């Protein structure tokens, strides 16, 4: 029997959050953490969490498993469980709505700030804006982000300044459009990132790289943004 | 957003650059001083070294770098931990107090350093 300790909080009935201990029979199989959560929910339907695709594509079920953020659906017990114990908590740093569900408003507000869409004011060509394979290659490792918020909520700089530091997820997307040869708003984008918080609260501790379920590297993207800012200003 | 008036250069890039440049200067200075000490130095040689203008300029450069480096670093720490989010309304007052105390300490060391270097 797997020992699971799960964070419970229902603001309508609980004065404060508490940890609930549950025993789960995994049948000796190396289930995914989401499977365990489904087994718990089958016994106690009041347990609340987000989930959708259950295969690491939608990014809904980002949770904190034994202290490490990740997607419950693609994290096997063999990777998450320590000494037959699994502690499930909501993503840290964001307000809890209920149980494992967090309010992502701050996260999305930062994403919105980087204007995550292509901007090009030159006349559109008849068919499409073409890129060479080399230009397209620059977007690899950037466009794959699914906005699960595992990285930003693992980042102390985002915990302390979520209104002012854009966070690794937003900055990865900021660089995704800075690196896009079809985007012509590079100058305006860089000008908005020059303050002491938006980019420069990153101290390069790489918690984001450590937890990204898609294996992306926001720290490297932030380094590229810094280099672009520096070469523009010297 | 409101640009902070207490950051060193009011630009993230400027503060970041100053912190890196000052770190290089500090490394060069302390390696030089360390190397001088390891090679063995008596009072006369030490006094002769610091009576040369280039050494005084180098030392003052290191002192200015130390102040700038410390300000950028401490400012980041204060604006992380001494905030309204972390400490409630008292956070803002505490942060301003911490910044003021740090600034006074740094300025004192800076003036005192000039006095020592030029033997005023």
8 Å CB contact between A119 and A192: no
Chains A and B: how many Cβ contacts under 8 Å? Answer: 43
- What does the block give as tokens for A107? 């996260």
Q: Are residues A7 and A83 in the same domain?
A: yes
- Chain A residue with CA closest to B19: the answer is A200
Q: Are residues A157 and A202 in the same domain?
A: yes
Q: Are residues A72 and A114 in the same domain?
A: no
**Which of A102, A132, A156 is where one domain is finished?**
A102
Q: What pLDDT, on the 0 to 100 scale, is given for residue A178?
A: 97
Of A157, A160, A194, which is closest to B12 when you measure between CB atoms? A194
Q: How far apart are CA A198 and CA A117, in angstroms?
A: 18
Q: Are residues A117 and A164 in the same domain?
A: yes
8 Å CB contact between A189 and A228: no
Domain that holds residue A18: 2-102
Q: Are residues A33 and A61 in the same domain?
A: yes
Residues of chain B contacting A156 with CB distance shorter than 8 Å: 80
Quickly count: other Cβ atoms within 10 Å of residue A129's Cβ.
13
Share of chain A above pLDDT 70, in %: 100
Residues of chain B contacting A93 with CB distance shorter than 8 Å: none
- Name the H helices within B1-120: 12-38, 43-50, 53-81, 84-87, 90-118
Of B10, B12, B79, which is closest to A199 when you measure between CB atoms? B12
Under an 8 A CB cutoff, do A196 and B10 touch? yes
Q: Are residues A115 and A219 in the same domain?
A: yes
Give per-residue pLDDT as tens, A152-181: 999 999 999 999 999 999 999 999 999 999
CATH label of the domain that carries residue B22: 1.20.1300.10
Residue B3 lies in a domain: no
**Which of A87, A102, A117 is where one domain is finished?**
A102
Q: Are residues A226 and A112 in the same domain?
A: yes
Q: How many domains in chain A?
A: 2
* Residue whose structure tokens are 């950028």: B72
Give per-residue pLDDT as tens, A89-113: 999 999 999 999 999 999 999 999 9
Residues of chain B contacting A201 with CB distance shorter than 8 Å: 76
Q: Are residues A142 and A224 in the same domain?
A: yes
Residue B92 lies in a domain: yes
Under an 8 A CB cutoff, do B79 and A161 touch? yes
Under an 8 A CB cutoff, do B1 and A161 touch? no
**Which of A102, A132, A164 is where one domain is finished?**
A102
Q: Are residues A13 and A81 in the same domain?
A: yes
Q: How many domains in chain B?
A: 1
Quickly count: other Cβ atoms within 10 Å of residue B56's Cβ.
17
Taking residues A190-212, report their average pLDDT: 96
Q: Are residues A112 and A225 in the same domain?
A: yes
Which of A196, A225, A230, A231 to mutate: most B Cβ within 10 Å? A196
- List per-residue pLDDT tens for chain B, 120 residues long: 567 888 888 899 999 999 999 999 999 999 999 999 999 889 999 999 999 999 999 999 999 999 999 999 999 999 999 999 999 999 999 999 999 999 999 999 999 999 999 987
ipTM of predicted complex: 0.87
Residue B1 lies in a domain: no
Q: What is the pTM of this model?
A: 0.92
Under an 8 A CB cutoff, do A200 and B83 touch? no
* Residue whose structure tokens are 């270097």: B117
Q: Is A205 on the interface with B (CB under 8 A)?
A: no
Share of chain A above pLDDT 90, in %: 98
Scored b (16 or more CB within 10 A) or e, A74-98 reads bbebeebbeeeebbbbbbbbbebbb
Q: Are residues A70 and A116 in the same domain?
A: no
Closest by CA position to B22, among listed B73, B54, B68, B75: B68
């Amino acid at each position: 029997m797997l020992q699971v300790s799960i964070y419970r909080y229902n603001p309508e009935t609980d004065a404060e959050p508490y940890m609930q201990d549950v025993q789960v029979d995994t049948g000796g199989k190396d289930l995914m953490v989401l499977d365990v959560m489904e087994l718990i929910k089958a016994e106690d339907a009041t347990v609340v969490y987000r989930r959708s695709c259950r295969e690491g594509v939608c990014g809904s079920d980002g949770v904190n498993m034994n202290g490490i953020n990740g997607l419950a659906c693609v994290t096997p017990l063999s990777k998450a469980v320590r000494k037959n114990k699994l502690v499930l908590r909501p993503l840290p740093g964001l307000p809890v709505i209920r149980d494992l569900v967090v309010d992502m408003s701050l996260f999305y507000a930062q994403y919105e700030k980087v204007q995550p869409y292509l901007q090009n004011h030159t006349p559109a060509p008849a068919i499409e804006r073409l890129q060479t394979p080399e230009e397209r290659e620059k977007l690899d490792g950037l466009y794959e982000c699914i906005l699960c918020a595992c990285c930003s909520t693992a980042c102390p700089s985002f915990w302390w300044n979520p209104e002012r530091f854009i966070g690794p997820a937003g900055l990865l997307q900021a660089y995704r459009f800075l690196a896009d040869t079809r985007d012509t708003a590079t100058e305006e984008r860089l000008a908005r990132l020059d303050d002491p918080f938006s980019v420069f609260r990153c101290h390069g501790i790489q918690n984001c790289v450590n937890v990204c379920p898609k294996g992306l590297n926001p720290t490297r993207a932030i380094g590229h943004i810094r280099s672009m800012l520096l070469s523009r200003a010297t | 957003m409101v640009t902070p008036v207490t950051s060193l250069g009011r630009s993230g890039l400027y503060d970041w650059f100053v912190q890196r440049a000052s770190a290089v200067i500090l490394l060069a200075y302390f390696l030089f001083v360390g190397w001088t000490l390891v090679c063995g130095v008596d009072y006369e040689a030490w006094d002769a070294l610091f009576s040369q203008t280039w050494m005084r300029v180098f030392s003052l450069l290191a002192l200015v770098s130390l102040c700038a480096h410390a300000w950028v670093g401490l400012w980041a720490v204060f604006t992380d931990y001494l905030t309204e989010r972390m400490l409630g309304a008292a956070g803002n007052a505490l942060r301003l107090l911490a910044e003021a105390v740090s600034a006074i300490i740094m300025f004192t060391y800076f003036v005192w350093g000039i006095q020592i270097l030029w033997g005023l």
